[in-house]
Amino acid sequence: MDAQRTFLTGQAGIAQAAKLLAEGQCVAVPTETVYGLAANAFDERAVRDVFAIKNRPFIDPLIVHVAGPAKLLQLTAMSPAQEEAARQLAAAFWPGPLTLVLPKQADVPDLVTANRDSVAVRCPAHPIMHELLEQSGLFLAAPSANPFGYISPTTAQHVADSLGERCPHILDGGPCERGVESTIVDLREPDLPRLLRPGPIGQEALEKALGREIHLPEPKADASLAPGMLERHYSPSTRLQLHATGELSQPGPDEAAVYLKRPAQAGEPRIYWLSESGALEEAAANLFTLLRQLDARPEIAVIHCELPEPGPGVASAIRDRLTRASKR
């Protein structure tokens, strides 16, 4: 932890971040999903630093962030059918928490795409990130700003806590509104769009905007489709145990219980909840912060957590992150 750190803030902070990125430095940046660790996507030395700071294997490709849908054309080489599908989803959800995987333009560095012939692109909604993309004029490659495998950061302080000195520049945009990483859709086969990672935008909303069914690849069979979808990911160091709704019991003296909705036992020791009303959007926004807080408490040996029922919207993303976090 680094109490002395000052974050980049306000208009001056955005201008400073744009300058650092143009000079080839890495800067942690706010988005509406989680904080990213950004570098100029076309500066291979800077991108290499992103992998090094995160301790991320080079086989796991990065998402490239753009200021607007028009920029997609500069990164991708789309067929008319791919372009039509991308246009439909971008019109419905950009700027926002949706990442599209499409065939890449030849000059997108192989380092960014981990030697794939596709690139993942997202146009984030966070106003500070948007302004940074506009001001810098850069394409920003940015994975989540956490050490590889750990819980993603949803505040500037989370980034400082887990990357420390390794990440000297952090642009503070406040707490992330969505709190879980973007939904990723593979549009390389536009008749067979695939959901590679559940996120804030649910399958039903995607299907409605596209007018066709979205496929959910078998995680094991199609591991090569989404290289970052490791079974164990987003993990606290403390053991996490999942429980169906209604099956959480009183936590022991070295345990914590995390409910989705404020429970009747609220106020008793080691009882936590992710949303007052049980709204899953609010639960998602608070999820990583609470897991980090509990993970930092040495007296807690087990975190018991209520898993939401399968359902629309962000439910799948919360189920996915909790399930991965619970794997040892």
- Paired with 241 in beta bridges are 304
Number of residues that bind ligand TXA (CB under 6 A): 28
Q: For residues 60 and 110, which CB has a smaller minimum distance to ligand TXA in the complex?
A: 60
The residue within the footprint of ligand TXA, chosen from 39, 41, 62, 66 (CB under 6 A), is: 62
Scanning 56-64, 73-81, 143-151, 285-293 for contacts with Mg ion by CB under 5 A, the matching segment is 143-151
Q: Which amino acid is at 228?
A: G
161 and 275 in contact (C-beta within 8 Å)? no
Write down the least CB distance from residue 222 to ligand TXA, Å. Answer: 10
C-alpha 191/C-alpha 212 separation (Å) is 8
State phi, psi for 29 to the nearest 5 degrees.
-130, 150
b/e per residue 27-50 (b: at least 16 CB within 10 A): bbbbbbbbbbbbbbbebeebbebb
Q: Which residue is nearest to Mg ion (CB)?
A: 144
Q: Is residue 227 part of the contact set for ligand TXA (CB under 6 A)? A: yes
Residues 6+ away with beta carbon under 8 Å from 47 = 39, 40, 41, 62, 109, 111, 112, 141
Using the structure block, give the residue that is written with the tokens 């430095």.
Answer: 25
Q: Is residue 101 part of the contact set for ligand TXA (CB under 6 A)? A: yes
The residue within the footprint of ligand TXA, chosen from 13, 30, 36, 190 (CB under 6 A), is: 36
Q: Is 22 exposed, middle or buried (0-12, 13-18, 19+ CB in 10 A)?
A: middle
* Sites for ligand TXA among residues 185-204 (CB under 6 A): 196
What DSSP character marks residue 214?
A: P
The residue within the footprint of Mg ion, chosen from 144, 154, 203, 235 (CB under 5 A), is: 144
| Dihedral (CA of 50, 128, 282, 212) sign | negative
* Sites for ligand TXA among residues 260-319 (CB under 6 A): none
Write down the least CB distance from residue 100 to ligand TXA, Å. Answer: 10
Write down the least CB distance from residue 232 to Mg ion, Å. Answer: 13
Write down the least CB distance from residue 167 to ligand TXA, Å. Answer: 13
Q: For residues 196 and 284, which CB has a smaller minimum distance to ligand TXA in the complex?
A: 196
Judged by the rule CB under 6 A, the positions of this chain that interact with ligand TXA are 31, 33-34, 36, 60-63, 97, 99, 101, 113, 116, 118-120, 122, 142-144, 181-182, 184, 196, 226-229
Judged by the rule CB under 5 A, the positions of this chain that interact with Mg ion are 144
